[in-house]
Chain A
Amino acid sequence: MSISYALLAIIPVVGLAVFCLSHLVASRVVLNRGPYYPLLAGFSIGLAAALAASFALLWSMGTGAADLLAIVGMNGAAYVAFGFGYFNFVNLNIASLRIRMLQELADSGGSMPAIAFASCYNTDSVIALRIQRLVSGGYLVEKEGRYFSGKQSFLIVARIFEFLRWAILGGRAALPSSADGRTGRDADIETCSSEGVP
């Protein structure tokens, strides 16, 4: 049992390796589908590999149904956790403001005058880019000059983060006051975060 069990233990890591390789191949083969499609394809292939390998090993060990479900679930959860980390690493390139700013500095030889830097990447361009991304992704819908909610998936993620922020940080979470002077619920809801946004 020990060698089989050791193999069973490292399946999430193997699944992550399959995810990385599949993502690499998909990002070179699948063009013009945006950066998230190859990620989703790679993640799915890695998940299928991790689950199939767990099932096969447990089956060969003659494990009972309850053990099988528990360990497949545990390996699946560990794989998803590793995959989430890899997704966020890749997403740094897609959505992280901080990484973009570091790359702007690196591309200019490692230094840049503050004035040139501000003209290259500033708050106005960040705002325009964010709104444009949300509209083109269908998360915001523009009607007669006003913006309304579109697809709900990203909003649900935002609500989950908002709940977690409240549950974990509680009253200690630093709540910003918005520029137009709104307070309370309207201000509270603008405190969640993630660089990992489409």
Chain B
Amino acid sequence: MIELLSKYADKTLPFDWPVMKIAILAIGLFGASFLLHWLLWRMKVPQRQSAALLVILLGTLPLGLAAVLFVPGLSFFRPLGIGEIAHVTIFHVAVTLAYIVAYSALEGRSPSMALLLSVADSRGKGRSRQELESLLRSERPVELRLEAMLRDEMVTESDGVYCLTAKGWAWARSVGVARIVLKLKKGG
């Protein structure tokens, strides 16, 4: 398979376009890591999805680079020097982080998107305020997030009092600094 790919690449990719191969390598590596993630997820979705994704997507990078460096059939894509390796790495890390951010939106549920989709699928009849409220109440947005914060140890609860943990303080402070610097109002 690798030899076939290599022969195909030899015939179809112009050798005098040395930089193009880096783009193909970078896109191919991310594509391979995405395919691996997709196949694994079709079999079983892991418990800690974001952490598993990070390991799979970032772990593919050194493995892929090692493959093109040491597997003779893939030598066409071998990067020349640290600059090309850095280029592939920066692209892979950027796209991986963006995908993980986007993936977190698939894991949870956004109240706003739920509202929009519900109204759009009302087939022109629209939704009443009561219907929208009942939809979001069933999603329990505040309760679910509180449960998640307790589970993630950002907050503890004892005798009916919620307390921030060190992790919770770190999140509140780091995002809070950005809010002050960028002059943003409280959101949520």
Contacts and interface: CB of A to CB of B under 8 A. Distances in A.
The 6 closest A-B CB pairs, nearest first, are A100-B188, A194-B105, A146-B126, A179-B138, A9-B87, A5-B83
Interface string A154-189: 110111011011001110110011111000011001
Contacts of B111: 97, 126-127, 130
Interface string B6-34: 00000000101111101110110000000
Contact of B178 (A82, A90, A162): A90
Contact of A97 (B141, B172, B178, B185): B141
B83 A179 contact: no
Contacts, number: 316
Interface size class of B (residues with CB under 8 A): 35 or more
A160 to B, nearest CB: 10
Contacts of B115: 130-131, 134, 140
Contact of B42 (A2, A170, A193): A170
A143 B108 CA distance: 30
A68 to B, nearest CB: 8
A121 B186 CA distance: 12
B177 to A, nearest CB: 10
For the residues of B in contact with A, the DSSP-based class is: helix
Interface string A24-42: 1001100000010010000
A122 B119 contact: no
A147 interface: yes
A55 interface: no
A157 B145 CA distance: 23
B136 A127 contact: yes
A145 B22 CA distance: 57
Interface size class of A (residues with CB under 8 A): 35 or more
A117 B162 contact: yes
B23 A70 contact: yes
Given A102-B149, A190-B117, A71 B19 contact: yes
Contacts of B45: 169, 172
Given A97-B111, A105-B168, A196-B105, 5 more contacts: A9-B83, A35-B184, A66-B14, A103-B172, A110-B163
Interface string B67-103: 0000000000000011110110011001101100111
B131 A66 contact: no
A56 interface: no
Contacts of B27: 74
B48 interface: no
A126 B141 contact: yes
A147 B132 contact: yes
Interface in B100-137: 101-122, 124-129, 131-137
Nearest to A72: B23
A190 B135 contact: yes
